[in-house]
Amino acid sequence: MKQTNQTQVTEFLLLGLSDDPHTQHLLFFLFLGVYLVTVLGNLLLMSLVHIDSQLHTPMYFFLCNLSLADLCFSTNIVPQALVHLLSQKKIISFTHCAAQVLFYLIFGCTQCALLAVMSYDRYVAICSPLHYSSIMTWKVCVQLATGSWTSGILVSVVDTTFTLRLPYQGSNSIAHFFCEAPALLILASTDTRTSEMAIFLMGVVILLVPVSLILVSYGHILVTVVKMKSAAGRLKAFSTCGSHLIVVILFYGSAIINYMTPKSSREHKKLVSVFYTMVTPMLNPLIYSLRNKDVKGALRKVATRNFPCRLGTSRWQ
């Protein structure tokens, strides 16, 4: 699987997570289960928000955008990884690889921006509850969501351009289970310092800047909550922010480890990539559903409407 030094690479070989056939089969069933839960969980959450009018609020509007980004993010990577786990030739064309890099960055970077927007929403709800409805209007929510998707697209275009503009000649074996910019740069046939610097700077913009905004928002939230005289009010505030904080820690923690720590080993980065490309998109809807009374209430109403007898709410009672 080598190309000559004068020939541009037209396809890549993805080495995957393991060479052992038995391990590959185990990973296939594991990843398939994770992907099915991801698809069903995110579709269910978006459907509940659409159906239940009580969930037509800014927080759930942003949550729907996050679920859509999660679903697309996972779908861009997992199906191809599943096919390669069962195939002998783990080949991906240069065009397919380029598209995977682009869409992976679009949906991943959009998630980063959306999590920052959601923290701002929680800040307004807790620190300025009387002005919440006048600040978080429908127009503002649409603008914030549009800005999140736009920033994700812009950052992804910059990263993809600096990655794919390089010549790829010689080795075409990617030590990864999907096409990711840092893994591709290793195969470039020229100096990659400019591209690496550009990707690092974009990482600062889309990772560290939103994290800073989240920390500032939660700093104000913490001060406000501590000043509350009612214990019930403090508990409600922490409960409202708890799900979002868990998602932020899971997603940003793994992404920062992979993109902001260049000295980490390849194997270590591959394992971390599994976490934020497969596990986190699966956990997000579960976290918001299990920890949120409104979502559980909406699910209960839908289930009661469709299966009244099974839930003990039939007309005979």
What are the residue boundaries of the structural domains of the chain, listed by start?
A: 11-303
Angle at 280 between CA 277 and CA 286, to 5 degrees: 145
Residue range 146-161: mean pLDDT, rounded: 94
C-alpha pair distances (Å), 205 with each of 48, 116, 132, 182, 228: 33, 12, 28, 17, 34
* 110 pLDDT tier (thresholds 50, 70, 90): very high
Residue range 228-241: mean pLDDT, rounded: 71
Residue 199 pLDDT > 50: yes
The CATH classification number of 11-303 equals 1.20.1070.10
pLDDT at 20: 86
Residue 89 pLDDT > 90: no
What tokens does 125 get?
């709800």
β strands within the chain, DSSP E = 11-14, 91-93, 173-174
Residue 315 pLDDT > 60: no
Residue 234 pLDDT > 80: no
Residue 308 pLDDT > 90: no
Per-residue pLDDT tens digits for 68-80:
999 999 999 999 9
